[in-house]
A and B are shown apart, each in its own frame.
Chain A
Amino acid sequence: MERYYQPEIECAPVEQLKALQDERLVKQVKHVWENVPYYRKKMEEKGVTPDDIHGTADLHKLPFLTKDDLRLAYPYGLMGKPLKDCVRIQSTSGTTGKRVVAFYTQHDIDLWEDCCARAIMAAGGTDEDVCQVSYGYGLFTGGPGLNGGSHKVGCLTIPTSSGNTERQIMFIQDLQSTILCCTPSYAAYLGESMKEMGLTPDQIPLKAGIFGAEAWSEEMRQDIQNTLGIKAYDIYGLTELSGPGVSFECSEQSGMHINEDHFIAEIIDPNTGEVLPEGTKGELVFTSLTKEAFPLLRYRTRDICVLSRKKCSCGRTFIKMAKPMGRSDDMLIIRGVNVFPSQIEAVLLKAGYPANYQIIIDRVRNTDTFDVHVEMTPEMFTDNVGEIQKRQNALEAGLRAMLGISAKVVLVAPKTIVRSEGKAVRVIDKRKI
């Protein structure tokens, strides 16, 4: 039986949803115009005022926001509320100027947690469930978001945060966790570890998993479902918009319903900015309808995907988005952790290595492999294999300290990393997702 957190809105007739979006968009544009000078200036440059926006049909008249805007406006430039009205920030892991800091009023947090609660109930969650949240807690939105949603559903919430696999498995077994929330690669790793311990799927109390924060394939879903004996559901979100729960999967497991009472989704041609018709592949753009403290209009996600309003058997009327097919951003998500090539560069340079490097990512048995190729230099070379390996280990330790995940350092001969005349090819991502 399909469960809903807010059935009156999740299953509302499409016309009613669209009317709600029209009304909220008009209000939101006015709010932004009056409170966010940065965006008002962009509107003025485009010759648009709130008087031109009567509903979603006028959305295309508004200027886009990009990650560059977020960087330029950092930290307070896109705020829609004074700081005294804000109660929280969340942030992406950038130490490189790519950092996104998003602000929340209590009302913003409330609505965000509603979105996460919808995702948990769509995965079959009720107040009788034990929900283990193994996403990271802290600045990362994964832990706090699902934690709040789990409370709203009334699940017994286990805030394990990420890592410490033995303890994760102990809680799953001792407290009979029924729902697991984490990144798909960590779910696969937990499954592998339990299998090695000799646990069969019927000995694992979990029944459902809500997995997001990185791209994952249908094959990986099958694998996780089989190993853990669960149904695995996808969840999508961005810190810029709130966090996880912008969209979520239902029992059909065929794309994620976008919470359209809070977000308008558009698909555009990433080159021209032109809005594309439903069913066409393009860049996903979101307009936040209800965010007070950090109200982004027409934010370009750089995620490439397709939207579909085909009737869903779950009863929800929210439009569905397919799994994003790729991100044209330079941020990497490796084993669920945000990694910026420039962070790696910083570690290499500090350790006396040249800035010529290449990151090779692959996925072997559902776990990301992460190799950093570094060119040997006369200064770093010695006749002693042990000494070279010692330096290699020190570099790996430095990368681990910076990134929070381990990378393998591979020393290669000079000039073997291809030089580019334009932007260097720093990343080779072989993951087939």
Chain B
Amino acid sequence: MTLNQISVFVENKAGKLQQLTDVLAKNRINMRALSLAETSEFGIVRIIVDDTAAAAAVLAQEGFIHSITKVLGVAIPDEPGGLNRVLNVLSGSDVNMEYMYAFLGGKEAKHAYMIFRVQDNEAVEAALAANGIACIDQATLTDL
């Protein structure tokens, strides 16, 4: 159970990120999660949207370089120690973690969500499941 994340290449210059959000806004694409990784000259914007296929199509049309990556999403109880419990599992299972980022849930706000980019999605998902932690699917995220 993985999520589709779109990674977009942007130059690290004033207004470049806004050009991306402008394209998404005009095409009525809603973002669920966003994270930025940047160097002094360029950045990679990682987004999870409500309609991955539509977003990929408009980005290609507008000349944005992008790729789609499968990532894991985990709902974490919005309480002290919530993230710690998940990371405890991952650090015990020799996972090669490339990056992770967090975002908050919907109006109910009982959960925060973590996105994990790991080498082996299945293995990590199994390790989490063995410890009673479930990964969320795209539909769950879209409905938030």
Contacts and interface: CB of A to CB of B under 8 A. Distances in A.
A57 interface: no
Interface string B67-106: 1010000000000000000000000000000100000000
B11 interface: yes
Contact of B44 (A378, A383, A414): A383
A421 to B, nearest CB: 20
Interface string B89-127: 000000000100000000000000000010000000000
A385 B37 contact: yes
B134 to A, nearest CB: 24
A378 B39 contact: no
Contact of A384 (B38, B41, B65, B98): B98
A359 to B, nearest CB: 16
Contacts of B39: 385, 389
A313 interface: no
B37 A382 contact: no
Contacts of B37: 385
A381 interface: yes
B44 A415 contact: no
A413 B98 contact: no
Contacts of A388: 42, 44
A199 interface: no
Interface in B39-69: 39, 41-42, 44, 46, 63-67, 69
Nearest to A411: B42
The prevalent SS among residues of A at the interface is: loop
Interface residues of B, number: 21
Contact of B9 (A376, A389, A410, A415): A376
A348 B42 CA distance: 19
The prevalent SS among residues of B at the interface is: strand
A384 B97 CA distance: 12
Given A385-B37, A412-B11, A413-B9, A376 B42 contact: yes
Interface string A364-405: 000000000000111001111100110000000000000000
Nearest to B43: A385
B28 interface: no
A411 B69 contact: no
A416 interface: yes
A385 B38 CA distance: 8
A274 to B, nearest CB: 47
Nearest to A378: B65
Contacts of B44: 383, 385, 388
A416 B42 CA distance: 13
17 contacts: A376-B9, A376-B42, A378-B67, A381-B66, A382-B67, A383-B5, A383-B7, A383-B117, A385-B38, A385-B39, A388-B44, A389-B39, A411-B42, A413-B10, A413-B11, A413-B64, A413-B65
Given A381-B65, A383-B7, A413-B65, 9 more contacts: A381-B9, A382-B67, A385-B44, A388-B42, A389-B39, A411-B41, A411-B42, A413-B63, A414-B65
